C-alpha cells in the first residue's frame, strides 16, 4: 500500500468557549443533540414548539372545507393503520427479544444478574441514607421507590416522555429539599450529594427500561457511527494537527489509558459513572498533550486529540450512551462544571466525525478519496505505527537488529583475536630462531660420575673444592706416651718455666 503525501494547509479544528455554550446566551453548555441549546433552553424550546404546532393544528382544523374532509379522514385512517402496523412490529420484536434473552431456565439468572449489578449502588445509597435523619431518610426512600414503580408501570412509551419524567423527578426532589420541613437544616453539599446518589440509584434500576429503547433509532445510529469510524481508520494525529508523540512510551501508555476509559463508559449504568469515564479519558488526553508538548496543553489542543482517541477506540454503543446521558443525567451536570465541559466536547467530537470530509482536514478531495478507498495511507512523522501488533513487531525488529550488530561485533573480535594469536606464534618462532642464531649449540662430552671415596681416584679431574688436602693430625691428650711427653717438654718448655 502506497503512502500519499499531498499539500495541505493547517487545519483550524478548534473549539472555543463560545462554541460550546448555549446559543440562547444563558451561559450554560450547549449540546449538538439539543441543536446547540442547554437542557433547560431545549425544554423551553420544545414546549414552545409544541404549543405553536398545537395552535397551527387548531387553525388548520377551522379552515377545513367539505371537500377536504374526505382527504383528511383518509389521511387519519392511513396514519392510524401505520401506527397499528408499527405497534405490531414492535410487539413481535419484543417477543423475540424476550425469548432470546430469557430462554428456558434463564429468567432466574437474569433477575439475579440484575440484582447483583445494582447491589453495590443500592448498598452505597443505603449507607448514605444512614447519615441523614431517620425521617428524612424514610421520605427519600419513599419518594425514590414510588417514582421507580410509577415509571416501570408506564409500559412502552416514547423515550422522551421517560426523560421528561426523570428530569421532572430530579427537579421535584430539589424543590422538596428547599421547601419541605423534613429537609430543613440540610446543607447544600449534603443536598447535592443526596441528588447524586438518587440519580445513580434510580437510573441503575431503570437502565434496562430506558437505555437504547426499541422506539428510538439509537441502535441504527450506533452502527452508522461504528462503520463511519472504521472507514476513517487511516486518520492520524498529524492530519488532525495533534501533537501526540506516540513513539514515546509515556505518551503511548496515556493514550491507551484514555482509550480504555472511553470504552468502559458502556459498562457503567448510572449517568454519573459514565460521565466519570469521560472525565478520566479527557484527563489522560490532557496529560499526554502536556508530555508531548513539554508544557501545559490548551483547550484548542484538546478537541482534536479527543477526536483522535475516539477514532482509535471506536467505543461500543457510542450514540446510545451519549443519548442516555443527555436524556437522563441531572441537567446540572451537563450545563456546567468539568464533566459538562468534557461531555460537550465528546458530543462535538462525534458530530465532527459524522460529518468529516476533506475540508475538515484541509486536504484536497482527491487525496481524501484515495485515503477512503485505501489506495494510499497518510504519513505521520510523529507516529510510528497505529496498531499495537505493528508496534510490537517494530520493537522485535529493532531488538533483532541490535542482536545482529552485537553478533557481528563479536565475530569481528573473534577474528581479530585469531589473527593476534597467529601473529604471536610467528613472532615467538622468529625470536627463538634469532636466539639460536646468536648462540649456536655446542655439544660437550658426556660427564662421568666420579666416586670421591675411591682410592684410585684421579684427583686432577675433580674441581678445586674437592681436591684432597693433606692436613696434620694432633694426637689426643689421653693418647700421649712418656716418650712423647719428654719430647714435648724438651720442645715447648724453657728452663725458666721448669724452675
For CA atoms 292, 296, 300, 302, the dihedral sign is positive
Nearest to 272 by CA among 217, 348, 324, 218: 324
Chosen domain end from 397, 427, 457: 427
Residues 373 and 392 in one domain: no
DSSP 21: B
Task: Work out the number of other CB atoms within 10 angstroms of the CB of residue 242.
Answer: 27
**Cα–Cα dist 146/202, whole Å:** 11
Number of domains in the chain: 3
Residues 340 and 261 in one domain: yes
Q: What is the mean pLDDT of residues 443-464?
A: 66
Of the listed ranges 84-93, 208-217, 223-232, 395-404, the one predicted with least confidence? 84-93
**Cα–Cα dist 168/180, whole Å:** 17
- The DSSP result for 256-303, as a single string, is HHHHHHHHHGGG--SHHHHHHHHHHHHHHHHHHHHHHHTSPPPHHHHH
Whole-structure pTM value: 0.62
310-339 confidence digits (pLDDT tens): 999 999 999 999 999 999 999 888 887 888
Contacts (Cβ under 8 Å, ≥6 apart) of 261: 277, 278, 280, 281, 284
Chosen domain end from 210, 235, 256: 210
β-bridge mates for residue 377, sequence order: 3
CATH assignment of the domain containing 320:
1.20.1050.80
How sure is the predictor about 496, in pLDDT bands with cuts at 50, 70 and 90?
low
Q: What is the mean pLDDT of residues 105-131?
A: 70
Residue 389 has pLDDT above 60, yes or no: yes
The pLDDT of residue 438 is 87
**Cα–Cα dist 12/9, whole Å:** 9
Range of the structural domain that residue 318 is part of:
219-377
The pLDDT of residue 75 is 54
The pLDDT of residue 72 is 47
The pLDDT of residue 32 is 66
Q: Please indicate, yes or no, if residue 76 is contained in any of the structural domains.
A: no
Q: What is the mean pLDDT of residues 264-285?
A: 93
How sure is the predictor about 468, in pLDDT bands with cuts at 50, 70 and 90?
low
**Cα–Cα dist 376/368, whole Å:** 9
Residues 394 and 363 in one domain: no
Chosen domain end from 160, 180, 210: 210
Q: Please indicate, yes or no, if residue 234 is contained in any of the structural domains.
A: yes
Nearest to 258 by CA among 246, 271, 241, 240: 246
Q: What is the mean pLDDT of residues 459-487?
A: 58
The top-scoring range by mean pLDDT among 244-248, 383-387, 443-447, 482-486 is 244-248
Amino acid at each position: 500500500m502506497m503512502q500519499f503525501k499531498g499539500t495541505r494547509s493547517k487545519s483550524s479544528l478548534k473549539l472555543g468557549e463560545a462554541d460550546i455554550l448555549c446559543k440562547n446566551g444563558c451561559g450554560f453548555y450547549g449540546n449538538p443533540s439539543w441543536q446547540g441549546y442547554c437542557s433547560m433552553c431545549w425544554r423551553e424550546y420544545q414546549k414552545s414548539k409544541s404549543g405553536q404546532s398545537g395552535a397551527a393544528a387548531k387553525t388548520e382544523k377551522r379552515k377545513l372545507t367539505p371537500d377536504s374532509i374526505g382527504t383528511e379522514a383518509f389521511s387519519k385512517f392511513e396514519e392510524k393503520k401505520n401506527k397499528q402496523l408499527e405497534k405490531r412490529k414492535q410487539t413481535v420484536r419484543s417477543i423475540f427479544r424476550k425469548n432470546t434473552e430469557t430462554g428456558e431456565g434463564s429468567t432466574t439468572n437474569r433477575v439475579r444478574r440484575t440484582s447483583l449489578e445494582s447491589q453495590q449502588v443500592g448498598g452505597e445509597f443505603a449507607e448514605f441514607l444512614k447519615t441523614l435523619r431517620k425521617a428524612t431518610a424514610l421520605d427519600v426512600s419513599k419518594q425514590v421507590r414510588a417514582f421507580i414503580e410509577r415509571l416501570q408501570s408506564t409500559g412502552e412509551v416514547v423515550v422522551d416522555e421517560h426523560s421528561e419524567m426523570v428530569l421532572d423527578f430530579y427537579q421535584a426532589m430539589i424543590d422538596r429539599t428547599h421547601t419541605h420541613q423534613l429537609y430543613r437544616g440540610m446543607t447544600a453539599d449534603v443536598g447535592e450529594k443526596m441528588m447524586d446518589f438518587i440519580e445513580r440509584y434510580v437510573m441503575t434500576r431503570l437502565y434496562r427500561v430506558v437505555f437504547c429503547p426499541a422506539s428510538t433509532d439509537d441502535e441504527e445510529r450506533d452502527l452508522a457511527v461504528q462503520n463511519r469510524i472504521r472507514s476513517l481508520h487511516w486518520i492520524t494525529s498529524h492530519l488532525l494537527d495533534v501533537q501526540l508523540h506516540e513513539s514515546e512510551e509515556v505518551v503511548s501508555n496515556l493514550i491507551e489509558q484514555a482509550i480504555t476509559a472511553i470504552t468502559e463508559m458502556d459498562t457503567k449504568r448510572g449517568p454519573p459513572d459514565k460521565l466519570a469515564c469521560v472525565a478520566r479519558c479527557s484527563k489522560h488526553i490532557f496529560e499526554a498533550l502536556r508530555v508531548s508538548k513539554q508544557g501545559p496543553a490548551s483547550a484548542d489542543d484538546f478537541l482534536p486529540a479527543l477526536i483522535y482517541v475516539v477514532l482509535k477506540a471506536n467505543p461500543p454503543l457510542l450514540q446510545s450512551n451519549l443519548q442516555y446521558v443527555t436524556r437522563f443525567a441531572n441537567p446540572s451536570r451537563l450545563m456546567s462544571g468539568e464533566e459538562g465541559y468534557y461531555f460537550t466536547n465528546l458530543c462535538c467530537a462525534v458530530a465532527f466525525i459524522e460529518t468529516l470530509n476533506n475540508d475538515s482536514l484541509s486536504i484536497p478531495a482527491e487525496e481524501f478519496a484515495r485515503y477512503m478507498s485505501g489506495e494510499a495511507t497518510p504519513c505521520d512523522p510523529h507516529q510510528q505505527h497505529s496498531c499495537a501488533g505493528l508496534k510490537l513487531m517494530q520493537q522485535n525488529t529493532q531488538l533483532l537488529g541490535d542482536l545482529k550488530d552485537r553478533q557481528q561485533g563479536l565475530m569481528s573480535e573473534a577474528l581479530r583475536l585469531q589473527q593476534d594469536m597467529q601473529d604471536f606464534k610467528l613472532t615467538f618462532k622468529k625470536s627463538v630462531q634469532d636466539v639460536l642464531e646468536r648462540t649456536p649449540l655446542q655439544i660437550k662430552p658426556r660427564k662421568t660420575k666420579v666416586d670421591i671415596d675411591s682410592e684410585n681416584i684421579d684427583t686432577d679431574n675433580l674441581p678445586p673444592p674437592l681436591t684432597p688436602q693433606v692436613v696434620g693430625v694432633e694426637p689426643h691428650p689421653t693418647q700421649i706416651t712418656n716418650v712423647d711427653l719428654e719430647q714435648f717438654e724438651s720442645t715447648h718448655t724453657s728452663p725458666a718455666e721448669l724452675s
